[in-house]
Amino acid sequence: MYNIVYNYIKGELIHMTTYLIKSFKRIEDIRQKGKIKHLLLDIIFIAIVATLADMDDWEEIEEYAKLKRKWFEKYLELPYGIPSGDTIKRVFQAIDSKLFLQCFMEWTQLIAEKINKQGIVAIDGKTMCGSYDNSTGKKALHIVSAWFSETGMVLGQVKTYEKSNEITAIPELLDILNITGNIVTIDAMGTQKDIAEKIISRKGDYVLALKGNHPLLHSEVVEFFEEIHDEKFRKDYCINHYRQVDKGHGRNEIRDYYITSKINWMDARKEWKELTSIGMVIYTRESKEDKKQECRYFLCSIDADTEKFSYAVRKHWGIESMHWSLDVTFREDAKRTRKENAPENLAILHKFAYNILKNEKSDKKSLKIKRLRASLNEEYLEKLFSGM
């Protein structure tokens, strides 16, 4: 099937679809051969294009493909026309989600290699609220994802059915990622000794948020930084400082970054693999009405470099922004997709679309506007693909 599909992909999409076809060829079509009418790769390609173009369920994907049939016929065989929404749904229920994820990661890696920069790999989890099933007792699917700062794209994901299971899911994700030379950032739940050791073994560095889930270590670091405004203290402990100020909307946002590698006084440094420095960020928001301040603390394997530290902390918000986009732009939480492999495959499908949209940098329009453009403008749709 790979050769058939490869041969009939034509025109401006050839560069992008070559990558896609090379990735998807590993997916086995487990449907009964005598009953197959629609080619598997046709269905996958239609679903990706329609998801790009602001379609958010199987029925919408079918209707969009029917309206754009002439456009799809330029690139696909479609021996029996456009597949129905039910057919598309059944295919995504049946596709091996591990293989689909491998395809996604292989394709994403090909794109990322064009960037060839080291950066921040942010890891965080998100629950797909609509994937629970009360009738069977099935819990909502929790997806732990990795996001890369230099492309703004998702690198990969693993699934779990409990948010608390992020601790075991993160090492699984690290095992399938190439983090060599990059800094991995994780929220406090993922701040675990085994995870720090895994990151180092995978030739990465870490900046891990430290909170009350490690009470003794947290209180020790908090107590240390209480003297931060004493100039002599900062000098004695070689504490480097960097301040970032953002003004606008009638308020000032100030971030003070402090980091030191003089941590011989910490007994815990022997327990955490390659623990090299500790850091603190003081976030202050000032307006005419009030002033608010909060402190955050970090365990780091990087040197006491304020540029690296501040960049890692600032860039971690990118994965939170990605989750927000999946909720708001792709309406992921509203989807009642529950059966078999469909919830996880839908999450991967969304990330295919998200990455393609993020890669289009000719303007700074929102993802929502880009999806709208793709639904209405075939030239823009082809531009999204040909730029990959």
pLDDT at residue 166, rounded to an integer = 79
Residue 14 has pLDDT above 70, yes or no: no
Helices 342-359 and 317-328: crossing angle in degrees, nearest 10, is 110
Close Cβ partners of 153 (under 8 Å, ≥ 6 residues apart):
108, 111, 112, 147, 354, 355, 358, 359
Beta-sheet strands, E only, within the chain:
120-128, 141-148, 153-160, 183-186, 205-210, 240-248, 251-260, 277-287, 291-300
The answer to whether residue 174 scores a pLDDT higher than 70 is: yes
Q: How confident is residue 170, by pLDDT bands cut at 50, 70 and 90?
A: very high
pLDDT of residue 11: 40
Q: Which residues are registered as beta bridge partners of 158?
A: 144
**How does DSSP assign 288-325, residue by residue?**
SS-EEEEEEEEEESS-S-HHHHHHHHHHTHHHHHHHHH
What is the tens place of the pLDDT at every residue in 57-83? 899 999 999 999 999 988 888 889 999
- Are 142 and 160 spatial neighbours (Cβ–Cβ below 8 Å)? yes
DSSP class of 138: B
Q: Structure tokens of 174?
A: 């690290």
Q: Are the C-beta atoms of 160 and 153 separated by less than 8 Å? A: no
- Per DSSP, the three-state class of 12 is helix
- The amino acid occupying position 96 is D
Sorting pLDDT into bands at 50, 70 and 90, what band is 140?
low
Q: What is the pLDDT of residue 1?
A: 32
Mean pLDDT of 368-381: 91
pLDDT at 87: 92
Buried-state track 172-207, b at ≥16 Cβ within 10 A, e below 16: ebbeebbbeebbbbbbbbbbbeebbebbbebebbbb
pLDDT in tens, 98-108: 888 888 888 88
pLDDT at 266 (0 to 100) = 92
**Alpha-helical segments (H) within 2-82:** 2-8, 14-24, 40-52, 58-67, 69-73
Produce one character per residue of 134-167: b if its CB has 16 or more CB atoms within 10 Å, e if not: eeeeeebbbbbbbbbbebbbbbbbbbbeebeebb
What are the pLDDT digits (tens) for 304-362? 999 999 999 999 999 988 888 888 888 766 555 556 788 888 888 899 899 989 888 88
Under a CB-based contact definition with an 8 Å cutoff, are residues 205 and 299 in contact? no
* Residue 282 pLDDT > 90: yes
pLDDT digits (tens, 9 = 90+) for 182-220: 999 999 999 999 999 999 999 999 999 999 899 999 999
Based on DSSP, count helices (H) and strands (E) in the chain, helices before strands.
Answer: 16, 9
**Which run of H or E residues covers position 115?**
helix 97-115
pLDDT of residue 255: 95
Give the pLDDT confidence score for residue 12 in this predicted structure: 39
pLDDT of residue 22: 61
Q: Average model confidence (pLDDT) for the chain?
A: 84
> How many Å apart are CA 201 and CA 306, to the nearest integer?
24
pLDDT-based confidence at 9, cuts 50/70/90?
very low
What confidence tier does 2 reach under pLDDT thresholds 50, 70, 90?
Answer: very low
Comparing 32-41, 125-134, 172-181, the range with the smallest average pLDDT is 125-134
Cα(265)–Cα(6) distance, rounded to whole angstroms? 61
pLDDT of residue 362: 82
Asked if residues 207 and 232 have their Cβ atoms less than 8 Å apart, the reply is: no
Q: Say how many CA atoms lie within 13 Å of 213 toward its Cβ.
A: 13
